[in-house]
Amino acid sequence: MNATINLENKHFPVLLNELISIISPLYGGTFIDCTFGQGGYSEKILENKQNNIIALDRDKDVLSNTSKLQKKYNKRFKFYNLKFSQLDQINIKNHEIKGIIFDLGYSFNQIKNSQKGLSFSDKGKLNMRMGINDFSANEIISNMDEKNLTKVFKVFGDEKYSKIIARKIVEKRKDKTIKTEDLVQIIDNVKKYQKTKIHNSTKVFQALRILVNKEISELINGLINSFNLIPTGGIIAVVSFHSIEDRIVKFFFKHYSEQRNSSRYLPETGVPERCFKLINKKPILPGLSEIKKNPPSRSAKLRYGIKTNDKCDFSEFREKFKNLINIENLR
């Protein structure tokens, strides 16, 4: 899904006004933008002269955008080419961290970059790597067995025809290397009599992208890292775009905002553990005007929590999504 859209060279970060209204009471410190992208959130926050930004992005293609902000805001802006799981590597010395922000979507520019291979209209070798990756979609489609391909498409893409698509891929690759256009054709042939509101390849491409970029484990580790990094009273805010992401984010905030004892995986301590305060128990959604301006924003959900405890045991969080992480580690 797109986090942003670019029409007539205009950049629209999703739920920007809603996010700013949440974090603005904490202005006068440093905010960490974990998904810099085209810099929409970062630049808006930096408009207030009391604020600093530490930005992360695994995609080196955003460097042209970071250089603009570096020039404009100088020492108030710092960028790291890192993933969520590497959040603990940033230098926060002399910074008072007030909020940490995640926007889990992909920008219009990333979708349209044919070298990344995120679009169904691309031609050539399958890729889908966003940066700092161990493998590409080409390696998955070329080497993964039918059983595991089926599992990946079904679980990460909720693809109804995952089994037959996987079988057709294995058959096709015996004769040739499957490129982006070949994969699209395979899926179209399987679904030629099906009527859907979305592109036939949407779910398979989503599944491959999640696997290639290890989006599940990156998100889980990023959320845990953000909790460990931010002081009590700080805000963690996440904009998600598909159901798997939202399930993870919802559990993270809801489960750890409830008054309860320590994890069942550890001895009882008698100490209640409430890690977050939730102002909004339900997600914040885009309004009709934003959806009209930026149709991909319709699937966005914003959830946030205020940290209330210095320590939190996240073993249940990891256990809850262990199956997804195991599938993500299939090769």
Looking at mean pLDDT, say which of 115-124, 224-233, 258-267, 289-298 comes out highest: 224-233
Is 181 a member of any domain? yes
Residues 102, 222: one domain? yes
- The model's confidence at residue 196, banded by pLDDT at 50, 70 and 90, is confident
- The model's confidence at residue 117, banded by pLDDT at 50, 70 and 90, is low
- The model's confidence at residue 81, banded by pLDDT at 50, 70 and 90, is very high
Burial tier of 31 (Cβ tally within 10 Å: 0-12, 13-18, 19+): buried
pLDDT of residue 266: 53
Residues 100, 219: one domain? yes
- The model's confidence at residue 157, banded by pLDDT at 50, 70 and 90, is very high
Q: What is the mean pLDDT of residues 114-141?
A: 87
Residues 50, 177: one domain? no
pTM given for the model: 0.91
Its domain, for residue 39, covers 4-109+215-312
Last residue of a domain, one of 213, 240, 270: 213
pLDDT at 2 over 50: no
* 159 contacts 207 by C-beta, under 8 angstroms: yes
pLDDT of residue 105: 84
pLDDT of residue 265: 54
Residues 250, 265: one domain? yes
Task: Look up residue 264 and give its DSSP letter.
Answer: T
Question: CATH number for the domain including 245?
Answer: 3.40.50.150
- The model's confidence at residue 261, banded by pLDDT at 50, 70 and 90, is low
pLDDT of residue 331: 82
- The model's confidence at residue 1, banded by pLDDT at 50, 70 and 90, is very low
- The model's confidence at residue 194, banded by pLDDT at 50, 70 and 90, is confident
Is 151 a member of any domain? yes
pLDDT at 9 over 50: no
Residues 57, 191: one domain? no
pLDDT at 3 over 70: no
Element holding 147 (H helix, E strand): helix 146-157
Is 319 a member of any domain? no
Residues 92, 231: one domain? yes
- Count of structural domains within the chain: 2
Question: CATH number for the domain including 199?
Answer: 1.10.150.170
Residues 32, 47: one domain? yes
Give the DSSP letter string of 172-224: HTTTS---HHHHHHHHHHHTTT---SS-TTHHHHHHHHHHHHTHHHHHHHHHH
- Dihedral sign computed on CA atoms, order 93, 98, 103, 108: negative
Last residue of a domain, one of 163, 190, 213: 213
Residues 173, 231: one domain? no
